[in-house]
Structure 1
Amino acid sequence: MKITTAKPADLSQLMDIERAGFTIAEAATETAMKQRIEIIPDTFLVARNDDQVLGFVNGPVIKPRYLTDDLFETVMPNQKFGGFQSVLGLAVDPKFRHQNIASQLLTELSKIAKKNCRDGITLTCLTRLVGFYEQSGYINEGQSSSTHGGEIWHNMVKIF
């Protein structure tokens, strides 16, 4: 397995994994996913075996500490330095879960964020995933104001 940046040719596989990992209300649209590949390629990472996509993590660099719902639909280019690396999506193909792929993707994203002098990484997650992120060094900073997908989300932050 290797971790690379996403390519336009990955879109179909990325959408299959997105739909398997999130409800219809939570999942990114194909248009949003395509925009992320085009606009933030440096922070859209893919775990792969040759041409097979195993999982991915993506998100833009933002100034605020916490994600806002508009980020899921509107992607802006990453600023060169500073800010928080956000995670809009982290998903692994169901056939390849429980193989440490998600953790490896987060580790690689952390390396990129540190290299670019980010303040940290910010994301939101469902209650059932808080423990996973805490094991990766994220702090649960309470319930998010996000109503994305009609769910209750937690603000998770990892400061460098």
Structure 2
Amino acid sequence: MKSKFLTAGLIAAMMVPAVAQAQTREIRKDRQDVREEQRELRDAKRYGDRSDVREERRELRDAKGDLRDSKRDWRRDTRYQNYRAPFKYQQFRVGATLRSNYYAPSYRPTWDSRWGVPRAGRNLTYVRHYNDLLLVNTRNGRVVQVYRNHFRWR
């Protein structure tokens, strides 16, 4: 009985990264589709008639909708649900100093290009504090940048 639960747990743990990769691939494909539709709309405006332009606009709108839906699905990923730190919420400002337990490894999400924030530099790390995303200098604990309500889709 224990081995069945253990096996099921291992399979589930291995599936989570695969699901995340599939979502990332889908977003990348949808972005490529939007670029392609924009290119086709430009060509239709340049060389086509009104019906061609109208059709390409409709296709571009559909491609943008698909991209928006893919991003929404990624944001609804269950790994980001019900995040709560073991301390109460505090609104941090740039220049504030954090205690080391605020930027412990368990609160450091790995950087992801879909967040729309630059990659953390040397001796810097991103820290999630409830729905805020903080860029923190790990040597002295100072907050360098604050992204308020960055995880607001919850």
Higher relative contact order (CA 8 A, sep 6+): 1
Fold match by TM threshold 0.5: no
Q: Larger % of strand: which? A: 1
TM-score bracket for the superposition, by shorter chain length: under 0.3
Larger radius of gyration: 2
Q: TM-score by structure 1 length?
A: 0.20
Could you state the TM-score of these two structures normalised by the residue count of structure 2? 0.21
